[in-house]
Structure 1
Amino acid sequence: MKGKLIIEEYIDKKEEYGILYVRAPHTSSGTITSFALKSFDFKKLPEEINFSKINKKTRYINLNAYITKDIVNLFDQISSDINGFYFGRFDIKANSVIDIINGDFKIIELNGIGSVPLHLYDPHNSLQYCYRFYKEHYDMALQIANTNKIEQKIRPMKPGVLLKTVFNTYLNFSTYYS
């Protein structure tokens, strides 16, 4: 085995959700731009599931209608404890949306700037809506990046270094998921 083995705590929650949270630097309150339920096809045997193509085995249900001020406040509190975090998707396990509202959930993963707004994979969304949302999504990411670049005097990566990083990331990913 090439990678390191990570043994995680068993989480006894029925459902998995993705919550995309965005907050501008120097603000205490953000917004949730995507809230989705991930519904897996467990009819297939585990050896038949290719996790590199999980989106073909997963149904995403748009739960944006359930975004409330209470949930946003909860994720404001959580994200304020993560230094420099302004944009990302929390993958969480909970038994229901009500449990999430009540704070009864476990965070299983936090994805950064490359986070995908999972609610867009709900088949009820139009292509036009998805394009418009992606534009707004990446505009917010760019605004945060520009603020950080100016205030923290961060120099952008040189194109060659960026390409090498992307290439090496792809090679590492394809090694484990091909």
Structure 2
Amino acid sequence: MRLFIHKVFNWEYWPFGLVYFPIFFLWTYYAIKAKTIFFFNAANPKIKNGGFINESKIEIYDLIPQQYYPKTLFVKGKSSFDLVINKLNESGQQFPLIAKPDMGLRGNAVKKVNSIEELKSYHEKADFDFLIQDVIPYENEVGIFYVKLPNESKGKITGIVAKEFLIVEGDGKSTIEELIKKNPRFELQLSALKKEYKEKLLKVLLQGEKLNLVPYGNHARGAKFIDASHLISDKLTQVIEEISSNISEFYFGRFDIMYNTFEELENGQNFSIVELNGSGSEPTHIYDPKHSIFFAWKELARHIGYMYKIGQHNHNRGFKFLNHKEGMKEYREHNECLAKIVTI
């Protein structure tokens, strides 16, 4: 009951359909103007479906200059594990590694694998294409939303979200599970954490000892999102502009970036792109607990407006919108893939 009340009074936990209900009317308005509900694909013409549905992460990584993201290996679903090991040896990647679906869904099936045995277990359960990626050696993470009109020479940052990971700190007497239960945000993840950590949750951490239970900044996996849009600066914008200018026909989306210090990030040093999300991106700074649902609706409407305007510009340049038949086919394939991912 305590957790239920916490979710009711914190809109960030409300069901997707409830949060986005007013936005559906705005989407309908833009769909009527575009003559298709699938107008999002033209926002980023070189990314499949603009990055909204049925997109491939490895195809997006392939658009980004390699120096900006960690070494990444693509694994075809249900391929031979011996083949996976051979490719891993050829790549020179070392454990620990991150395994994640080639098509993502809010952090589902993203796991840190520490050994060949753990990777084999993941591979056996994965009925989908997935990636094996080096662990990024930086502790901090931000999501930086970038938009650019095709007829303009430069884009802009429209929002920044900082992320606090699911980290517990020991008191010398409480088990990890007991520490988790002291924070409603963390306790909501307890069922998933029990599956992953099992009896390890019974360990007592020393006074001041910290443990990061989910080493990636995903809201659905317990990370706290904080609006850090005040950190937008000319220097940071220039860094993001430099990256974006090297990604063919990219105009709308969110860079999830891990970095050492913010000063270094502003100087274009010691950072790595975790993911680039296209037209399906949310301006995730809205999930800061200090923001009301009305702020969220305003920001969602603002960004969907950008997406439509960019898509219309690209449509006028010759990039066609998906028609209904094409869009529904992509949507069905997207849902079929996601159904496999959520059951791992």
| TM-score normalised by L of structure 2 | 0.48
Q: How many residues are matched?
A: 176
Query: Does structure 1 residue 134 correspond to structure 2 residue 259?
Result: no
- CA drift of 1:176 comes to 1.0
Q: Give the direction of change, closer, same or farther, for the CA distance of 1:54–1:177 in structure 2 (3 Å limit).
A: farther
Q: Do the aligned residues in 1 keep the contact of 2:253 with 2:277 (CA within 8 Å)?
A: yes
1:40 and 1:173 mapped to 2: Cα distance? Answer: 25
Query: Is the Cα contact below 8 Å between 1:19 and 1:89 reproduced in 2?
Result: yes
Aligned to 1:2: 127
Letter of the 2:323 partner, please give it.
K
**Rg (Cα) greater in structure:** 2
Contact 1:14 1:94 in 2 (8 A): yes
Structure 1: which amino acid aligns with 2:241?
D
- Distance in 2 (CA, whole Å) between partners of 1:3 and 1:16 is 27
Q: Does 1:168 align with 2:333?
A: yes
- The answer to whether the 8 Å contact 1:38/1:60 transfers is yes
Q: Distance in 2 between matches of 1:131 and 1:125?
A: 10
Matches of 1:83 and 1:4, distance apart in 2:
24
TM-score relative to the length of structure 1? 0.89
Identify if the C-alpha distance between structure 1 residues 54 and 120 changes in structure 2 by more than 3 Å, giving closer, same or farther.
closer
Change in 2 beyond 3 A, CA 1:134/1:54: closer
Q: Which residue of 1 aligns with 2:225?
A: 60
Matches within 5 A, 1:87-126: 87-104=252-269, 105-126=271-292
Q: Deviation string for 1:72-125 (max 9, x for gaps)?
A: 111111101111001111111112322221212111211111111110000111
Aligned partner of 1:145 in structure 2 is 311
TM-aligned CA deviation for residue 159 of structure 1: 1.2
CA contact (8 A) 1:23 1:29 kept: yes
* C-alpha contact 1:36 1:119 (8 A) present in aligned 2: yes
Gaps in structure 1 of 5+ consecutive residues? none
Q: Distance in 1 between matches of 2:255 and 2:130?
A: 22
Match of 2:66 in 1: none
Alpha-carbon distance, 1:2 to partner: 2.2
What RMSD, in angstroms, separates the aligned Cα atoms of the two structures?
Answer: 2.2
